[in-house]
Each structure stands twice: as structure tokens, then as C-alpha cells.
Amino acid sequence: MPKNATRSISAMRDIRARRSSEQFQENKADMRVRVGQLRESQSQEARDERNQQRQLERRETRRFIVDRRRGIDQQRQQVHRALTSD
């Protein structure tokens, strides 16, 4: 294959790669815009409901952790009492 043909093929590939990269960036920007629009279109009520649900889940998780730690501490105290009473 002649050198000029190789260069021209390489140049065409570079142009295609650049175009696809530009296209990718444009698609990415378009997607960001669409996501932003979607978020704006969601009602405040739906966001409040979601936030409230998350808060409830956090509270339940905290309660579970506190109860678990409390149980572990009680077991530890019982073992300590049993070992020190002799």
C-alpha cells in the first residue's frame, strides 16, 4: 500500500475518532441537561416524601444498632459479674 494511502487512511481514522469523541461529549452534555430537567420536573412533594422515607430508614437503622450494642453490653456485664462473683 502506498505511503500516501496509509496516511490518508490514518487521517480518516483520526477524523472519525475525533468526531465520535465529540459526539460522545455532546451526548454526555445532552444527558446531563435531560437529567437536570427531569429533576426539576419532579414535584417537591415527591422529593419530600423520598426524604422522609430516607429519614425513617436511618432512624430504624440507628435503633437497630443501639439495641444491638445494648444487648452486647448486657451480655458483657453478665459475663463480667459471673467471673468476678467467684
Dump pLDDT digits (tens) for 9-44: 787 788 887 878 888 888 889 999 988 888 777 777
Mean pLDDT value of segment 65-81: 95
> How far apart are the C-alpha atoms of 28 and 22, rounded to whole Å?
10
| 50 in any annotated domain | no
Amino acid identity, position 64: F
Q: Band of the pLDDT at 61, cuts 50, 70, 90?
A: very high
The confidence score (pLDDT) of residue 67 equals: 94
Q: Indicate the burial class of 31 (C-beta count within 10 angstroms; 0-12, 13-18, 19 or more).
A: exposed
Q: Quick one: 37 and 61 in the same domain?
A: no
Q: Band of the pLDDT at 54, cuts 50, 70, 90?
A: very high
| 48 in any annotated domain | no
Q: Quick one: 62 and 34 in the same domain?
A: no
Q: Which domain holds residue 28?
A: 1-41
Structural domains in the chain (count): 2
